[in-house]
Structure 1
């Protein structure tokens, strides 16, 4: 049974998709209920895995490996040579990412109550997207990872282009173009590694690239290792995104439906960070060590660029979009520090930003549903006609700017602590971004809550109600829990961090 757990986890949304086939496309209520229920099995299984870890179980016992297909006939030389297996596995890092995916998928399915048309197609694509995301974080070989990575692109393209706002088609094609280029680069890297080493298994590649091993045709030279690492940096840098590969993300954040942006900002962007950690640092630790300062510089640029531009936006969605760019800079800063504090801060930031951005975009969706705008100067006086929503919005902003007691503080503190240990001057420059974060978030939130009220907006506006409270309360509870008890994340991460630090000689 243990060997089936991860397969059930990844493909559990298929049950929701199959049930939807039986429901008429005009049955809005049942389709929305099935869309929500389709995310529950993955959530329960992911929580079960966390409980198993917390009670001392070895996560490796849930791994699965089944013969899939092979190239050529090399069994007499090596039964694993040029073979691609169906391999799923979890460690501390992937377990955390799986839980984040499952939680945000359930919260986003609740946020999807505001979808107005073609609910059947929407929720079937929504659940297909969840399958891709769960598969990305559990795949144990690069080819399977790439397949799941591509699965996320297809439903996202249609979810943006069909159910988005005014310029949804432009945003969808921009998403597809940039991510398609990133996928092409990633595929080239995977094929070169597979051809040279005869394997796509992540652990085997890590061993060959660090300890050494027999390659199929020729050794992988240092120059090629740097080239492949650069390819990974570009491919996952588009996904993260790293400046100047970020423009597509701005359109998606503004034009996609808020429920989908919750998953895009909360999970899909994090695939970029996950890839850099798992493959960049994991497979090429020595080469990553050499470019660590460059990565940290990119992080500081991201942090300051996003913060400066967020300060001059009048659309709150654009504020949050540039804020995401800025906060992903903190991830790069932590990775570039190349020590345990920085690494831990980077991973904490991945999770923290996922929860905070999902909370803020959910609230944006609620506001847009009521008043049909996200412009700051049109939302003045929210505290008078939506006081509860305004309170939660302020709480989300406080978490995002790093208020002590919330997850944002822990991640930012550790990432900068790591960089100050290695590059104090660069860290001092980057710290300006933390100050700017407080400026642009308080400017935007206070402008909406206590700014000049617009009578055209305040008439007939209702508060949060019913099921809308669930995502807000759950996400805020998780943000506070991580802020006051960070061991819930640092515990599972210990083994992963030790392996990474050993690889880079830390």
Structure 2
């Protein structure tokens, strides 16, 4: 395999699993589960190989691929690049971390599928692997049209995985997801088409040059007002995905009603597409417009942080509390980006990775608890540590990471994001620190009530953590601690990217 084909195989190898699953009888449950899991592994191995290639100080450009794909208009002879769409994949330090996160969480969520999905594994894993391909493609696409295609490829399987295999109000959650995200997609498509019509390209790097270099002669000029309008449209499109309050209600339903493997992927990866879009396209293509609304973004981030934390504090159902916690933690990403300096942007990216790992682990543990007890009501799970000490211990440890305990990934990301915001907007940052206090309050209140609180039920005969359940728990916990004690595993690949964005 040549280096230029690595990313192509990394992105599309899950589809080989879809092809094989399509020819397998749906009654062969064990074989279907095995094939579904196995075909998440090539992407994981290749993602780690590219990561260690970068850590060795070697260039990531050797993995880039660019092939002519679609030509619009009759410009082949005059300028073959004009109104051409290329199949182009590539990674930098930032996108590489998201690719590794996607591959890791997808493989671990596939284990959760084999453990907790009880029916129709063939259809589930086919949709699951299509979803993984879409996510990997989103973070490696180097032009907007290819990005949009992969972006849409994540929506359809998520809709069906939730609507068919979710909990009691699964159809409502699936339709809410599709309507909100479909609206965001429509707005994004309009922006892409306008940029393509005005510049003749959808290449991300070329768009930055065309939009921000006054010496470039565009096919049709874009005024400052038009640039701001395009940027604001991107803010709405990706703000829905993040989500930014008040565009968040669909996310709460998804976290409460989607099956646990889907929630692991949704909270761990899909929400990060919103932050990725704001960084890659908002800040990356429209830096002046981003700077002009930085204060607004910081305020929205504080609103997300405090609103999510307050409502998480009053929840009586643990899964819904975690849903509001995700809303709150997305506010930290917005606050870090709004700082527009190296520390803030680094904190925002760290928070994307950290929250992806912590939330995936928390929701996996929620799935284990629900499988054993049939409930996630906090009041019904008092004394959990007595009956399931390992599960209770890992739950408490993960909660410590979520509230930002030093030595875990949550502390590194929150400290860096707030450091950046204190440098840029100290008053807003000071208000935001209330959210950190609230996070500690609601996490400790819920987890301590569940693990060591008054027991309202007997846990005798309930099994503790067992078998394959150890794999996602130990891997995710190891990564959370590794980032906390050795943050250079993230900061080293990010160095060049951070200098370009916030330097």
Give the TM-score of the pair, scaled to structure 2: 0.98
- Structure 1 residue 34: Cα displacement: 1.0
Residue number in structure 2 paired with 1:419: 421
Instruction: Give structure 1 stretches of 5+ with no counterpart.
Output: none
Residue number in structure 2 paired with 1:223: 225
Residue number in structure 2 paired with 1:482: 483
- Structure 1 residue 226: Cα displacement: 0.5
Partner Cα distance (1:422, 1:115) in 2:
47
Q: Is the Cα contact below 8 Å between 2:210 and 2:218 reproduced in 1?
A: no
Partner Cα distance (1:218, 1:64) in 2:
29
- Structure 1 residue 213: Cα displacement: 5.4
Do residues 255 (structure 1) and 229 (structure 2) align?
A: no
- Structure 1 residue 460: Cα displacement: 2.5
- Structure 1 residue 16: Cα displacement: 1.3
Q: Is the Cα contact below 8 Å between 1:207 and 1:213 reproduced in 2?
A: no
Superposition RMSD in Å: 0.9
The residue matched to 2:88 in structure 1 has which SS?
strand
Do residues 433 (structure 1) and 435 (structure 2) align?
A: yes
Partner Cα distance (1:295, 1:274) in 2:
15
The residue matched to 1:313 in structure 2 has which SS?
coil
- Structure 1 residue 77: Cα displacement: 3.0
Partner Cα distance (2:105, 2:430) in 1:
34
Do residues 443 (structure 1) and 448 (structure 2) align?
A: no
Residue number in structure 1 paired with 2:171: 169
**How many residues in Structure 1 have an aligned counterpart in Structure 2?**
501
Q: Is the Cα contact below 8 Å between 2:256 and 2:323 reproduced in 1?
A: yes
Partner Cα distance (1:213, 1:145) in 2:
28
Do residues 131 (structure 1) and 103 (structure 2) align?
A: no
Give the TM-score of the pair, scaled to structure 1: 0.98
Partner Cα distance (1:162, 1:107) in 2:
21
Of the three residues 365, 368, 371, the one matched with 1:366 is 368
Residue number in structure 2 paired with 1:353: 355
Residue number in structure 2 paired with 1:493: 494
Partner Cα distance (1:214, 1:431) in 2:
44
Residue number in structure 2 paired with 1:152: 154
Do residues 467 (structure 1) and 455 (structure 2) align?
A: no
The residue matched to 1:458 in structure 2 has which SS?
coil
Residue number in structure 2 paired with 1:188: 190
Aligned positions of 1:42-441 closer than 5 A: 42-112=43-113, 113-212=115-214, 214=216, 216-441=218-443
- Structure 1 residue 26: Cα displacement: 1.3
The worse-fitting range, judged by mean Cα deviation, of 477-486 and 77-86 is: 77-86
- Structure 1 residue 116: Cα displacement: 0.6
Partner Cα distance (2:217, 2:250) in 1:
38
Q: Is the Cα contact below 8 Å between 1:150 and 1:183 reproduced in 2?
A: yes
4+ residue runs of structure 1 moved beyond 4 angstroms?
213-216
Partner Cα distance (1:344, 1:178) in 2:
29
The worse-fitting range, judged by mean Cα deviation, of 202-211 and 239-248 is: 202-211
Partner Cα distance (1:481, 1:61) in 2:
28
Partner Cα distance (1:459, 1:266) in 2:
33
Q: Is the Cα contact below 8 Å between 1:304 and 1:432 reproduced in 2?
A: yes
